[in-house]
Structure 1
């Protein structure tokens, strides 16, 4: 059952006064009104967003970044601390669509948003750079491995989630679907991560891989069962193999 949003709450979301508290609120934000309120874009630009109201949310996120840049308001630092999680998401897409930045620079720029306290911003952060990661998965893997050593579990999770073979709302990474062993160092580094948020991502990564390389996932989980006694690893193994039939 969908969660009802009061008119007063909808107004707060649409004018960028507050952050959303759950997915239904994230999806309910009127992008055109928010652009008009937060950025005072020209009527023509706002109308372009209204015309895109029926498009998918990731398409509208990308369009918002385009409209901000075209209006000379593409300064990421201005938007990445905005009260609205949607606006901070636009900052993610400004980074992801910046043709002047290489992959290393994009990941450096996106890191504060990948570590955002809001669940939605953290999703937009990896989705916004997913195209670059798909284009250069091994380079991305090398650049993201050090994130696992950071203190924040949000950064651990980004390093894993951003490189999922299949992902959610995202282009697949063919290399990791067919040769998941390339990412073994990343997976091993998180095999006993204490945070459920990270465990879910590692398990989902392996579940993705199991759709194309089931025996590799079975073998890895069998080895982990011998090598790891933690509850975290047991949870990851169960999640990783949930789509596999019993051999």
Structure 2
């Protein structure tokens, strides 16, 4: 059985933090810090653990923020190099998941000293990621924040450059939503222009996810971006833009599909079968899709499927899943299969009943079938 995710922050990490903070600031009350940080730790999930450690830091680090930030920076280990992601605390200093709590302390205590706070996050993000911690500061100090991020797009560290994009994502998972950017994403667009051809794949992946976030609220912005940046794109930029387009492709957005040569309706016949017809929660079904072209020319097809899951109130809610991408020759018949898991996961609750499945090709539904989900 795999280790619980929450144990990424554990008593050993807390004691390491106490050791390194006391190493650089002998007046640090390590015993009190560890007592507060370890209190009922086993009962807490990951984020709650990080927040409790931040509470302990607030209770034991100096009230003067600049001094506290100096101590935190002095306790850090060497900065990560390149796209390195294996951050971990060592004898040299702190790194890895404990830095989530250090960043949270900076976010809470640094709002009255934003320049010093941004400087501390510049250091922290090179040992973990400050993508959560920077977001309250961007809301409280947007002008200074975006000026700082613009400077960071030229930083030698890929981790800092990535933070310019990841920290300003409108809908970062687990992170505080940046509602002003959800309403109007234009302040972050210069950052993405500066970073979309970055030498680091780590940075480019963040840009793609940022654009995908924007597309959830402003699909036309992403369509305009493709019009401007796709025609002369090299291999790496094309890959970034394709990843940025993934949600809108699934939704069948006409301009996005057209930009990728996927706008033409499917010409042919499609049939979907599902086996078994009845399945218990925790099992799986097999989708079999048969496509026969009736076109005179080859067809480039983006194929996804929608499962209309039954909800608690008996209504259904569609969830889009990635299917296939292929080119179908004139007159060709292609049979495609995919297993679809109904394993219980934390982000979805299954309810028994008839579950409808639709297949869409280039954004248009071409076939459907049903299966019965049982307890």
Q: Same fold (TM over 0.5)?
A: yes
More helix by share: 1
Question: Which residue is equivalent to 1:178?
Answer: 183
Q: What is the aligned partner in structure 2 of residue 106 from structure 1? A: 117
CA deviation vs aligned residue, 1:31-72 (integer Å, no higher than 9, x gap) = 665567666744696256333544443332232133134234
Spell out, residue by residue over 1:137-173, the C-alpha distance to the aligned partner (whole angstroms, 9 max, x if none): 4431122101111122111101100000001211111
Distance (Å, rounded) in 2 between the aligned partners of 1:72 and 1:178: 37
CA RMSD of aligned residues (A): 2.9
CA distance in 2, matches of 1:37, 1:142: 36
**Alignment correspondent of 1:192:** 197
1:20 equivalent in structure 2: none
TM-score, with normalisation over the residues of structure 2?
A: 0.52
Structure 1 alignment gaps of length 5 or more: 5-23
> Larger relative contact order (C-alpha < 8 A, sep ≥ 6)?
1
1:166 pairs with 2:166:
no
Residue 206 of structure 1 is matched in structure 2 by 211
Q: Is the 8 A contact 2:208 2:243 kept in 1?
A: yes
Please point out which of 73, 80, 87 is paired with 1:77.
Answer: 73
Partner residue of 1:12? Answer: none
Deviates more, 1:68-77 or 1:229-238: 68-77
Contact 2:75 2:94 in 1 (8 A): no
2-side partners of 1:210 and 1:224: how far apart? Answer: 15
SS at structure 2 position matched to 1:60: helix
TM-score normalised over the length of structure 1: 0.76
Q: Which digits, 9 at most, give the CA deviation of each residue in 1:86-106, with x for residues without a partner?
A: 444443333222247422221
The structure 2 residue matched to 1:147, chosen from 152, 155, 158, is 152
As a proportion of its length, which structure holds more strand?
2
Q: 1:209 & 1:91 partners in 2: Cα distance?
A: 29
Name the CA distance, whole Å, in 2 between partners of 1:37 and 1:115.
20
Secondary structure, in 3 states, of the residue corresponding to 2:196?
coil
Change (3 A) 1:44 1:115: closer
Equivalent-residue separation in structure 2 for 1:36 and 1:137 (angstroms)? 33
Distance of 2:178 and 2:145 partners within structure 1: 11
Q: Name the count of aligned residue pairs.
A: 221
Measured in 2, the distance between the counterparts of 1:53 and 1:220 equals 47
Which of 226, 230, 235 is the matching residue for 1:231?
235
Counterparts of 1:132 and 1:193 in 2: how far apart (Å)?
25
